[in-house]
A and B are shown apart, each in its own frame.
Chain A
Amino acid sequence: MIIRIQKEAIDATEVIRSVRTPEAGAVVTFQGTVRRFSGDTEVSRLYYESYKEMAEKSMKGIADEAVSRFGIIDYTIEHRTGDVNLGEDSVIVSVSAAHREEAFSACKFIIDRIKTETPIWKKDIDVTGKETWRD
């Protein structure tokens, strides 16, 4: 049950390994990646800022709710801050559960709630270097 807000790149293999357990028959992982277009804007990278203390608390609350709702066995959530380049992961949510249904449901529940509640903000840096907050 790991929650991390970090500047370093996400190591998806390591994250998935961290939730694997012989009791789990399913591991579901969501990776949010930086895509080239934000509407009509061609993006070169994104910049993420967090209110770290509150964001960690928020993610922990959401993940613990997923444990009680769906009975998942383990989770790891990591979110980048600072500059994240095109194609890189900005966020990863990996969960393990006895069966796939609760693993899929819990993974979706966690990422959906993070996107609407967790105090993290991003701005686009387009190919000309112009910066625009996305809020």
Chain B
Amino acid sequence: MKLKIQVRFFGSVKDDAGTESLILELPEGSRISDLKEVLMKEKPSIWAGRRQIFFALNQNYITGDRELKDNDEMAVFPMVSGG
């Protein structure tokens, strides 16, 4: 069984990714670090020339690594600049 992970992009990262979101299929047991590796291969442009990039899993900032679950939502975005 494969895990389906929705990846959403925001701000300038969305422009660099060329899409708002994509669905990645990963083998069961995959971790956040595996997903990041796949993203680096699929969308290297989002890292180009960027000092910092942020990740959130199911609307929470990610601290550390952990196993992913089917239908998890990963967001990828630059430093926030609201206000």
Interface residues of A (CB under 8 A from B): 32, 48-51, 53-55, 57, 79, 90-91, 111, 114-123, 133-135
Within 8 A of A (CB), among B1-38: 8, 10-12, 14-15
Q: Is the interface of B mostly helix, strand, loop or mixed?
A: mixed
Known A121-B10, A133-B11: A115·B83 in contact at CB below 8 Å: yes
Within the assembled complex, what's the spacing in Å between the Cα atoms of A37 and B73? 37
Is B39 positioned at the interface, with any CB of A under 8 Å from its CB? no
Please give me the residue from chain B that is nearest to A117 by CB atom: B80
User: From residue B45, how far is it (CB to closest CB) to chain A in Å?
Assistant: 14
A115 nearest CB neighbor, chain B only: B83
**Chain A: which residue is nearest B52 at the CB level?**
A135
What B residues does A117 contact at CB under 8 A? 61, 80
A115/B82 in contact, CB under 8 A: yes
Q: Is the CB of B82 within 8 A of A51?
A: no
Contact: B77 with A119, CB < 8 Å?
yes
Closest to A79 in B: B82
Listed in ascending order, the chain B residues whose CB lies under 8 Å from chain A are 8, 10-12, 14-15, 56, 59-61, 75, 77-83
| Chain A residue at smallest Cβ distance from B80 | A119
Residues of B within 8 A of A119 (CB): 10, 56, 75, 77, 80, 82
Contact residues in A for B83 (Cβ distance below 8 Å): 32, 90-91, 111, 114-115, 120
> Chain A contacts of B12 at CB under 8 A?
121, 123, 133, 135
Evaluate contact between A54 and B80: CB separation under 8 angstroms. no
Q: Which of B11, B56, B59 contacts A121 (CB 8 A)?
A: B11
A48 vs B82: C-alpha distance when bound (angstroms): 7
Tell me, in angstroms, the Cα distance from A79 to B82 when the chains sit together: 8
Per the bound structure, the CA–CA distance linking A49 and B80 in Å amounts to 10
> What's the least CB distance linking A47 to chain B, in Å?
10
Whether A49 lies near B75 (C-beta < 8 A) is no
Are B56 and A49 interface neighbours, CB within 8 A? no
CB distance from A59 to the nearest CB of B (A): 10
